[in-house]
Structure 1
Amino acid sequence: MIIYISGGVRSGKSSFAQQMALSLSANPVYVATAKIWDEDFRKRVERHQQERGPEWINFEGYQNVADLPIEDKVVVIDCVTLWLTNFFMDFDNSIEKSLSAFKLEIDQLQNLPGTFIIISNELGMGLHADNEVGRKFTDLQGWANQYVANQAEEAIFMVSGLPLYLKRRQSC
């Protein structure tokens, strides 16, 4: 099952996702999709790591996330934006190749038993990028977000730390 959580920077996505995961499992899994490229980003990653306690199982997954030992687990995947960046860089800024590879990974996750809480950023709500690469990535992000939200059983948009439910799981 996929639960999709999106929102802007510092909207509360990660903490909401982590609280949700802890409510579903005593030992959830956290998959970080980021590559650390500078000291400021390293500090951000360290802050996120400190926010999680010892009950978390942590993995780094730049690509091939479904190949990690996450089957039958509650998993937070943080985040689509950085995951897409890995594809976008590897495929020389090709939207088509990046989106295809990303969709394949989402499809593979859907075929695994478990709960996958996927976090993403909403990039298209701000200013337009001032260069071609930035505009291409924003388009890629939008299409990827649409794909995950469509595949998800639940979709949540975070605003100022509050969840807005776009799509709820069907109860039995």
Structure 2
Amino acid sequence: MIIYVTGGVRSGKSRFAMDLALRKSPNPVYVATSRIWDEDFARRVKRHQDERGPEWTSLESERDIHLLPLAGKVVVIDCVTLWLTNLFVAFEYDIEKSLAAFKAEIDALARLNATLIVISNEIGMGVHPETEAGRKFTDLQGWANQYVAAAAYEAIMIVSGLPFILKSKN
């Protein structure tokens, strides 16, 4: 089962997802999808790590997340944007190949017997990107978000720390 959580930067997505995971399991799994690109990003990652207590199992994977030992677990995957960045770079900024690889991952994850809380960013609601690569990535992110939301059992948007239910099959 996929629960999709989206919102803007610093909207409270990760906190909401982690709280939800802890309500569903005493020992959830956190999957970090990011690369450490620079010092600032390393500090951001460290802050996220410090927010998790000993009850969490932390895994890191830039790609092939479906190969991780997630079956039977409650899992937070943080986040689609960084995961897509890894694919976008690996496929040399090819939107079609990146999106196909991402969709295949989501399909494989959806077949797992697990509760997957997938976090993403709504980057298309901001300023129009200046560069061609930025515009391509914004398109890729939008299509990827639509795909996860369609596959999700539940979709939630976080705005200013408040959850808005977009979709629920309850």
Gaps in structure 2 of 5+ consecutive residues: none
Q: 1-side partners of 2:38 and 2:86: how far apart?
A: 16
SS of equivalent residue, structure 1 residue 93: coil
Return the offset for 1:168: 1.1
Aligned to 2:19: 19
State the TM-score, normalized to the length of structure 2: 0.99
Aligned to 2:77: 77
Return the offset for 1:169: 2.9
Aligned to 1:129: 129
**Deviation by residue 1:116-170 (Cα, 9 ceiling, x = unmatched):** 0000000100110001000000000000000000000000000000000000132
**Deviation by residue 1:32-77 (Cα, 9 ceiling, x = unmatched):** 0000011110010000000010000000010000100111100000
Aligned to 1:44: 44
Where do residues 1-172 of structure 1 align in structure 2 (5 Å cutoff)?
Answer: 1-170=1-170
Identity, % of aligned pairs? 65
Amino acid paired to 2:151: Q
Equivalenced residues, count = 170
Q: 2-side partners of 1:66 and 1:126: how far apart?
A: 31
Q: Runs (4+) of structure 1 moved beyond 4 Å?
A: none
SS of equivalent residue, structure 1 residue 124: helix
**Deviation by residue 1:64-116 (Cα, 9 ceiling, x = unmatched):** 00100111100000000000000000000000000000000000001100100
Amino acid paired to 1:138: T
State the TM-score, normalized to the length of structure 1: 0.98
SS of equivalent residue, structure 2 residue 128: coil
SS of equivalent residue, structure 2 residue 72: coil
Aligned alpha-carbon RMSD (Å): 0.4
Amino acid paired to 1:72: G
